[in-house]
Chain A
């Protein structure tokens, strides 16, 4: 039985599918969506403990996806992923997120962050 259920939102399918596979070995159930619109839809019909969203998404941006998810699920924790070492000034960082993680993500760091956020809940 998995401890937590995580939803990744990232258009790099090879990356998120591998992350989901690796999380299984750590008793964390993962799933992914490749764009913001499908993630918003999925969250309306399926419960997750935490959502991890890439800032750069095709179509609806990561920031806009975060705003919609926060509006519809105010209690749901959200972590953001950015391809930059630190978010650029031009990137709008939505309010209410737990943290921002730079790519490449270290899995141990990610797991630790998920556990820390969910223990606080």
Chain B
């Protein structure tokens, strides 16, 4: 991909390899899966404790067994959900450019990023509405731009901040809009608007930063814009 300036934030981020991006995401996901396994491990241990108690003459109540079964079911569902998201994420590199559901892609990525936001005490709010929005672009390129943007916003944000995201459809393309809000004067990271396009795959991703409105728009035009700078 080429851009308007090698010195701007977008190009700096694009210099990060996709491998690093995948590494960051999978490290976070493995951490979350480790938590799921830890809970299942301790819940199994709790069942053993109850059985040991029963062997010593203590009563096992049906409430206790129901509670444990419910814990196991909840964590199993959580684990399945994490693995589905990771699998879906991994398949976004199958084709350099393809048609995909932007809402689903964004929701999946935000769920994977959720831990980073939670650690900073920042809330990510989904205002996409949940409908299917089909775009044709580079799914991995879109995700990388969104992730790097979120990483920067989280880096400068404070506990209690909220970052909402929505999708706007227009005649010329689709736009992902991020807005920052909090109880103090919101701060956007020192970002610059930029555009990135790949002649090879014919996809354009444009980032428009509005410091006054505290918003960042990621524009995904329907048509490849080869000469736009």
Contacts and interface: CB of A to CB of B under 8 A. Distances in A.
A70 B39 CA distance: 28
Nearest to B78: A14
Contacts of B41: 104
Interface in B41-78: 41-43, 45-46, 49, 52-53, 71, 74-75
Contact of A105 (B38, B43, B49): B38
A118 interface: no
B118 interface: yes
B15 interface: no
Interface stretch (B29-37, B137-145, B186-194, B207-215): B29-37
Interface string A14-53: 1100110110010000000000000000000000000000
A75 interface: no
Contacts of B52: 25
A14 B118 contact: no
Contacts of A11: 118
A56 B119 contact: yes
Contacts of B3: none
A77 to B, nearest CB: 22
Given A57-B119, A59-B159, A25 B42 contact: no
A13 to B, nearest CB: 10
A74 interface: no
Interface residues of B, number: 22
B71 A15 contact: no
A12 B119 contact: no
Interface string A62-86: 0000000000000000000001100
B35 A25 contact: no
B121 interface: yes
Contacts of A107: 42, 45
B119 A58 contact: yes
Given A25-B49, A83-B35, A18 B159 contact: no
A59 B35 contact: no
Contacts of B35: 12, 15, 83, 103
Interface of A: 11-12, 14-15, 18-19, 21-22, 25, 56-59, 61, 83-84, 103-105, 107
Among all A-B residue pairs, the 7 with the closest Cβ atoms: A104-B38, A18-B42, A59-B121, A83-B31, A25-B49, A104-B41, A14-B39
Interface of B: 31, 34-35, 37-39, 41-43, 45-46, 49, 52-53, 71, 74-75, 118-121, 159
